[in-house]
Amino acid sequence: MAEIKWNEFLIPYSQAVDELKIKFRNLRKEFLEKNEHSPIEFVTGRVKTVDSIKEKMRRRFITTDLLEQDMQDIAGIRIQCQFVEDIYEVAKLLHIREDMRVIEERDYIANSKPSGYRSYHVVIEYPIQTAHGQINILAEIQIRTLAMNFWSTIEHSLNYKYQGDFPEEINERLKRAAEASFMLDEEMSKIREEIQDAQKYFTDRKRDLNNPTEHNK
């Protein structure tokens, strides 16, 4: 690949993020419309900045001609879930979809990183329709609980300050926080049915209050 025209290069990745966010948010809406528990709570997405791409290329020794296949997270989607069980349910849903193909998975929940990081990463191949035909790009989907996401956000912020070289005290506190976060997820899983029943009751009650005529039929 010659000198990259970054604005042009990133267009399909931006399109992929926009499309995937809509699709996963609609999937959540479909569950809720059927009055079922949705394994998806929040969906966000982003395209890596040019500076971030260049930095990773230097760090990983990725050449421009291999960029599209070697950097799997230029397009990134983050799906947040209420329960750990929901994470694996979302992963199953990705496998049965016909509009994307799962090509790689990394389970950092069952096998957390030494830092304490937990998340489930799925790399997909996603078709994009362009003015010149279809192209397939790679996108990374990170699936995690709300607690995992909170820890990861804090760790990411600290990483900017310390450039990955955390003081020992901070490092140990982050590890303890990661374990505490996972213990919270485990406790929530143990009372998952109670929580879901309460949420369903709240939703039904809210619907009745908003539609008193329908309720009195």
Average pLDDT rounded to a whole number, residues 115-136 = 95
* pLDDT (0 to 100) of residue 197: 78
* pLDDT (0 to 100) of residue 1: 45
The residues carrying an active-site annotation are: 140
Residue-wise pLDDT tens digits, 146-167: 999 999 999 988 887 787 778 8
Q: Which domains are present in the chain?
A: 6-204 (3.30.460.10)
* pLDDT (0 to 100) of residue 102: 98
* pLDDT (0 to 100) of residue 156: 84
pLDDT surpassing 50 at residue 210: yes
DSSP states of the chain: --S--HHHHHHHHHHHHHHHHHHHHHHHHHHHHTT---S--EEEEEE--HHHHHHHHHHHT--GGGHHHH-TTSEEEEEEESSHHHHHHHHHHHHH-SS-EEEEEEETTTT--TT----EEEEEEEEEEETTEEEEEEEEEEEEEHHHHHHHHHHHHHHHHHTT---HHHHHHHHHHHHHHHHHHHHHHHTHHHHHHHHHHHHHHHHHHH-HHHHT-
* pLDDT (0 to 100) of residue 202: 67
pLDDT surpassing 60 at residue 215: no
